[in-house]
Amino acid sequence: MNDFIDPAIAGLLKQHQLDNFAALWALELEAVDEPNTERGGWSSVAKLTLDEQTFYLKRQINHLTRTLQKPLGEPTFAREMRNIQRYQVLEIPALRAAFFAQRKVSGEQQAILMTYALDDWHDLDHWQQQWLTLTAEQQQGIIQACAKLAKTLHNAGQIHGCFYPKHIFLQQQAAGFTAQLIDLEKTRPLVLGRRDRIKDLEPLFRRSRHIWGREQAQLFLQSYLDKPEDIPQWLQRLDARRKNKEAR
């Protein structure tokens, strides 16, 4: 995976002497949450503000994903960076990368992925926590924006693989809401048609079930599906998958 610097902020990084891997790696910043120590490595996220621009700086060591193409493993950030670029080409709304690079140092695989902070956006969890204070129009706009995002994603031949409320970010605009995705590490091509779509959507419905009732689920599917007559069958399949997951 080649190194990447967004030309739009190349000058800003150079101004702060942060336009290279070593400088960004050496920054001492407070992590925004507990480091991820899965996969036998380490991965951490910190917030970085340069002038008036805010980023999330993610750094990792030996935090690898293994595939048939990469049986020895590669940094999970390399996979996510490819997916960010793929989403951009496919015009799927998602977070944007500002910087990416990886190095092998003393036998350890290190990687940096810096993304633009989504200022003035809030994840679906945030909106659901204040659901009862929202107007009916706002609630409808949020559900329709999530459905439009899912439809765009799946029509582009991709599944997110982690389609949870905390990974769907929304912004209120004059004409309703717009939505985009973060955390693209588990994205893969959609190859099994409706089965893959149901698998991708079910976590959203399961984790929103305490907020969204049958009427809201139907509204989502009205915006997502091309044929309204398919809604009952989709609801049945989503319910069946949820019950199967909960029974495990």
**pLDDT given for residue 192 in this prediction:** 93
- pLDDT of 177 reads 98
Radius of gyration of the chain (CA): 19
CA angle 197, 202, 203 (to 5 degrees): 125
> Collapsing DSSP states into helix, strand and coil, what is residue 158?
strand
Q: What is the pLDDT of residue 188?
A: 95
pLDDT for position 247: 80
Q: Give every residue of the chain whose pLDDT is below 70, as ranges.
A: 39
pTM score, whole prediction: 0.93
Q: Domain ranges for the chain, please list them.
A: 4-116, 122-247
| Fold type of domain 122-247 | Transferase(Phosphotransferase); domain 1 (1.10.510)
In words, the CATH class of domain 4-116 is alpha beta
- Tell me the HSE value of 9 on the side-chain side, using a 13 A CA sphere: 24
Q: SS3 sequence, 197-232? A: HHHHHHHHHHHHCCCCCHHHHHHHHHHHCCCHHHHH
Query: Which pLDDT belongs to residue 149?
Result: 98
